[in-house]
Copies of this chain bind each other. A is one copy, B any other.
Amino acid sequence: MTSIVSISEIAFLIGDPARTNMLFCLQTSEMASAADLTRAAGVAPSTASEHLAKLTQAGLITATQMGRHRYFALASPQVAELLDGMDALASKLAPNGPPSLRNDQAALHARTCGDHLAGHIGVALTQSLLANGHIRQNGNTLTLSRSGRALLHDLDVPLDPLTQSPRRLLSLCHDWSEDAFHLGGGLGGALLQTFLARDWMRRPKGRTFVDITPKGRTILRKAFGINANAPASG
C-alpha cells in the first residue's frame, strides 16, 4: 500500500524522461488529463498509463475521476518545490545545455499549462477578462458575466458543452513565471482550443508553449487589448 520507502525511489520515479515531462507539465497546470500527459510524455497511452499509475501510487501526484476523464495534479507544493530545485540545479550544471523551461523565452511568453494558456499571454488574457468585467471575482468564486458570454459567442467558443461538464468552468491557477494568475478550468481549456483551431496560435509538436500567428496577434489586440509581440529581444 504505502509505497515510497526511500529517497532513491522518488528520484528513480523522477528520473525517467517520460515521467519528468509529465511532472513538469503538471507543475504548470493545476490539472491535466491522462491524454494531456500522454502527449506531454510522448509515449503510447498504455505506457503513459503505467507511468501515471506509478507516480500516483508513490504519492507524487493525485488523480481525480471526472466523467470519463481522469485529471492529475501534483500531490503537494513540496513536490513542485523539489522539481523546481532540480530544474535550477540542472540549468546550473548545464549552462550551455538546452534551454530549460524556466529560461526559455518562448515558453515564458506563452506557455501552456495543461490544456490552457499560461505565461505572459495567459496572465494578460486573464487580467483583460477581469478588467473588462467579462469575468467577475467575488472572493473565491468566479462568474462569467453577460458581457463575457457575449464575447465568447462572438469568438465562437462553444459554451454549452462546458457548462454541462463536471469540470469547473472557471478557475484561477497560479502562474510561477509571472507570479500572477491565469485562467484555467473548462473555459481556459476551451479558449486555447479555439485559438489553436482558428490558427491564431500553433503548438510546436511536443512542446509546452504556443507560437502566436499574425492573425492571432490581431485578435488578441482587438478583442483583449493585448500586445502579443514576441518577447522583448532588445
Contacts and interface: CB of A to CB of B under 8 A. Distances in A.
A89 B10 CA distance: 8
A177 B2 CA distance: 23
Interface residues of A, number: 42
A19 B11 CA distance: 11
Contacts of A6: 17, 20, 90, 94, 97-98
A17 B15 CA distance: 13
The interface centre, meaning the residue of A76, A85, A95 with most chain B CB atoms within 10 A of its CB, is A85
**Chain A's interface: helix, strand, loop or mixed, by majority?**
helix
Question: How many monomers of this protein are in the complex?
Answer: 2
Contacts of A94: 2-6
Interface in A76-100: 76, 78-79, 81-83, 85-90, 92-98, 100
Contact of A85 (B2, B8, B82): B82
A20 B76 CA distance: 23
B7 A83 contact: yes
A106 to B, nearest CB: 18
A117 to B, nearest CB: 21
Contacts of A5: 90, 94, 97-98
